[in-house]
Structures are given as structure tokens and as C-alpha cells.
Structure 1
Amino acid sequence: MPGRHARAASGPRLGRGGPRKKPDSLAADKAYSNGPCRASLRRRGIRHALPEKTDSRAARLRKGSRGGRLPGFDEERYKKRNTVERAINKLKHVRAVATRYDKGGYVYLVTVTAAALVIWLRT
């Protein structure tokens, strides 16, 4: 039985759903900025924009040369994450999107698309 961090194979899926793919990059908040998360992303070859926690930075600096090097952080990509978060927040103000009354995926997609169009036309 594969573990939680088993590498997803690219290609067609045997059962239902689309092909399995890994993301090119990941932008997340400080909650995911820990050793195991970073190691898993590195192992899978996924670039990431994770800001370093304040206490992690202090611990790393306290260790001196044994603390390792500063983890890479792309500030420009992290700023784009904020844009996505705000867009999702605006979409969730639409009641039908937030509560997901529509059971079918294609109907929900139409609801989200219509809500996005209304938000876009209002701006």
C-alpha cells in the first residue's frame, strides 16, 4: 500500500477522473513552511513559495553554520497568491457558490463561472 507521500504517476487514470498530474509550483502560507512539507515538495520536484516562520528563522540563526541555508522564497510568486485568495473570497460571497447547492460538477462550474462574470462586470 503506497504511503501518503507516494509519487503520483502522470498519465491516464484507470478509474474515474482525469489524468493525474503534479503541479509545477506551490504557493502557500506560513502554516506549510516546515521541514517535512519542504522536503516532500523538493523530493517531488515541485517549486514552492513558502515564507519562513519567524520562530524557524530564529532557531536556524541560533544554530549558526549548522542551521543550514536560508530557504528559497520567491516574493513575486507569493504576491500572486494574494490575488487568487481575494478572487476566491469574492466568489464565496455568492451564496450559491459558498453553499454549493448544485450537486453536479458541471452545474457547479456554470454557477462559479456566472458568479465570476458578474464580479468581473461589476469591476
Structure 2
Amino acid sequence: MATDRAYNNGPCRDYLRRRGIRHTIPEKTDSQAARLRKGSRGGRPPGFDEDRYKNRNTVERAINKLRHARAVATRYDKRGYVYLGTVTAATLVI
């Protein structure tokens, strides 16, 4: 549980912002309440784009389906092009 809170903290979001990485995970309600308790020192809320969040969910589900294919998950192939063929075959089966 502590790791979940660590992701949502200010330094992590600052790091992502410096790197130009936009976040897609909405702010948790307890973090939102803590920010509001701070008043003007709490800063502004992070932006949230529902479309980006929906797309992220779709990509995550597709990757999880690919992981069910044992050859993709374990990556026994030594060469990259063979692994790409394995992923392509698993994708076609899905």
C-alpha cells in the first residue's frame, strides 16, 4: 500500500513533468483531499484526460493477453526477429 502512495506523490509527478511524460492515472481521492486541506499551498490538481486513460487501459489489456502466450512471456528466442515472429503469431491467435 505504501508503494501506491509513493507513486502519487509530488516528487514523482515533478520527475515525470521534467521528462515531458504526461500522466494518465487520475489523482486518488485521499491525495485530492490532502491537497485541498493545504489550501493555496496544495498546488493545482493534475490534469486528467479520459481518452488517454481509456487508450491506456486498452493497451494494458492487449499486453496482458499477449503475456498468456508462454513463448512470449518467457522469451526463449535468442534472436529479435524470431521473437517478433512469436509475438506476431500470438497476436494472430488472439
Q: TM-score, normalised by structure 2?
A: 0.81
C-alpha separation between the residues in 1 aligned to 2:73 and 2:6? 24
Residues 91, 116 of structure 1: 8 Å contact kept: yes
Residues 60, 67 of structure 1: 8 Å contact kept: yes
Aligned to 1:107: 82
Q: TM-score, normalised by structure 1?
A: 0.64
> Higher relative contact order at CA 8 Å, sep ≥6: structure 1 or structure 2?
2
Greater per-residue helix proportion:
2
Structure 1: gaps of 5 or more residues: 1-28
Q: Please tell me the root mean square deviation across aligned C-alpha atoms, in Å.
A: 2.0
Q: How many residues align?
A: 91
Structure 2: gaps of 5 or more residues: none
Point out 4+ residue stretches in structure 1 off by more than 4 angstroms. none
Greater per-residue strand proportion:
1
Aligned-residue sequence identity (percent) comes to 84
